[in-house]
Structure 1
């Protein structure tokens, strides 16, 4: 469960767009962010955030900055995060340096959490939410393949909450129930749309 934590109210007073990517376990969020990063790697107006996480650097999954609990606390006290939150025993932080990219009018893409979206909304005036979803049976199959939970545990996880985003947010939904290539193209299309928004002011 994500606990309400902190948002820096001055972090997002800029011209750029913060796009936060969210989605349930098994939806393929990390994979799609990685593929989008590859596509936009040389684009001068797109910045992908490396989150600070109290998790081992070699734990797999996303490319992140690994710190200890003590290190995270010190960074938080120093004002090093634009947004930070806690979920499932880990702490996550969006570095305050993203404000420099936003001030330059860039599209900033961050891996987020649906239950922390109110923190992002407080920190970033121009917030876009990209919700990666998949049909329940697809999610169940992917989670089953990981082998970390029993079938009953997976069903209980999927029953705990909706797959959609609740709240007053500007949300784009991407269904990743089909091929990863189709979802990759959809993510790229969405990000290109945000870049068009930036050009139009």
Structure 2
């Protein structure tokens, strides 16, 4: 990371970084899209486009697709505020988010539970939105993707935890039911962050 980005990171106590995490099938991308539409006209709210080592037209979230070689070059150049590897891919949050945080803004990004220790080091003010759903609902959604059987998925879910471990500031959003209900909770949570910021 270059010296300018380092100075920004050390001097951005005013803004809040929000990491939206959760297991596959929980609906993180859908909820983020709802929040993006709601906050579209608020200049102090920013949704991050991640850099990922997969094609930009691969589906799912809108991201900047780069090759593994390009990603490594960006990492060495200090282009990321935080980056991590998962499921055979590399993910990066652009270092430019520090500029928004230094202005006291709210920044939201799709994250990863396994990478949260790195996020906590990068962002002094970090809020984790843990999107969950019941194992049965997760299984049904994942079965629809056609990659595993329902039995395989349920067995895998039993071995894992839907909780966020560690001393983070966490808000759980249950997306087992109507998407609109979970979206409303996410929006209310972000609105509360903005209200606290306005009151400081």
- Name the TM-score class by shorter chain: over 0.9
Partner of 1:172: 171
TM-superposed deviation, 1:142: 0.8
Partner of 1:100: 99
TM-superposed deviation, 1:152: 3.0
Partner of 2:128: 129
Shift of the 165–56 alpha-carbon distance from structure 1 to 2, 3 Å rule, reads same
Partner of 1:76: 75
> Does the 8 Å contact 1:12/1:99 carry over to 2?
no
Is residue 152 from structure 1 mapped to residue 151 from structure 2 by the alignment? yes
Per-residue CA shift, 1:39-62, capped at 9, x if unaligned? Answer: 111111100000000011010000
Instruction: Give the secondary-structure state (helix, strand or coil) at the position aligned to 1:125.
Output: coil
TM-superposed deviation, 1:30: 0.8
Scaled by the length of structure 1, the TM-score of the pair is: 0.93
TM-superposed deviation, 1:38: 1.3
Q: Which runs of 4+ in 1 moved over 2 A?
A: 8-13
> Does the 8 Å contact 2:52/2:90 carry over to 1?
yes
Q: CA RMSD in A?
A: 1.3
Per-residue CA shift, 1:57-106, capped at 9, x if unaligned? Answer: 01000010110001001100100000000000000000000001001110
Measure the CA separation in 2 of the matches of 1:13 and 1:28.
33
Measure the CA separation in 2 of the matches of 1:187 and 1:83.
23
Is residue 13 from structure 1 mapped to residue 11 from structure 2 by the alignment? yes
TM-superposed deviation, 1:153: 2.4
1:187-198 correspondence to structure 2 within 5 Å:
187-198=186-197
Measure the CA separation in 2 of the matches of 1:9 and 1:145.
44
TM-superposed deviation, 1:184: 1.1
Partner of 1:5: none
Scaled by the length of structure 2, the TM-score of the pair is: 0.93
Measure the CA separation in 2 of the matches of 1:49 and 1:191.
15
Partner of 1:44: 43
> Does the 8 Å contact 1:18/1:128 carry over to 2?
yes
What stretches of structure 1 of length at least 5 have no aligned partner?
A: 1-7
Measure the CA separation in 2 of the matches of 1:157 and 1:54.
25
